[in-house]
Amino acid sequence: MEVVGQFLADTDGWGHMSGWGWGWMFFGSVFWAAVIGLVVWAVIRNPGATSPEVDAEAILAQRFALGEISAEEFTERRAALRE
C-alpha cells in the first residue's frame, strides 16, 4: 500500500504524463480553439450562406436604365409586380 501512496504522491514532480501534462493540455486547447475559430471564420466568410434580398423593382429599373427594356414594358412589368 505504501508503494501506491508514493506513486500517487508524485514526489519528484514528473511522474504524471512524463512531465508533459500541462504542455499537452495547453497545446490541445490551442489546437481546438484554432479549429473552432477556423469553422466560425469559414461560416462567416461564405458568401453563399446568406443571400441578400433581391428587389425585383430595382432589377427592373436597372434593366430599363441600361436600355434592355422599353418604357412601356417597364411600366407594365412594374404594375404587374405591384399587384
Digit-coded pLDDT (tens) for 6-44: 555 555 555 555 666 677 788 889 999 999 999 998 888
> How many residues would you count in the chain?
83
DSSP letters of 40-78?
HHHHHH-TTTS-PPP-HHHHHHHHHHTTSS-HHHHHHHH
Domain that holds residue 66: 53-83
Per DSSP, 36 falls in state H
Q: What is the pLDDT of residues 47-78, one digit of tens each?
A: 665 555 678 888 899 999 999 999 999 999 99
Same domain, 18 and 36: yes
Same domain, 45 and 76: no
Q: What distance in Å separates the CA atoms of residue 83 and residue 66, rounded to the nearest whole number?
A: 25
Same domain, 40 and 75: no
Prediction pTM value: 0.40
For residue 24, the one-letter residue type is: W
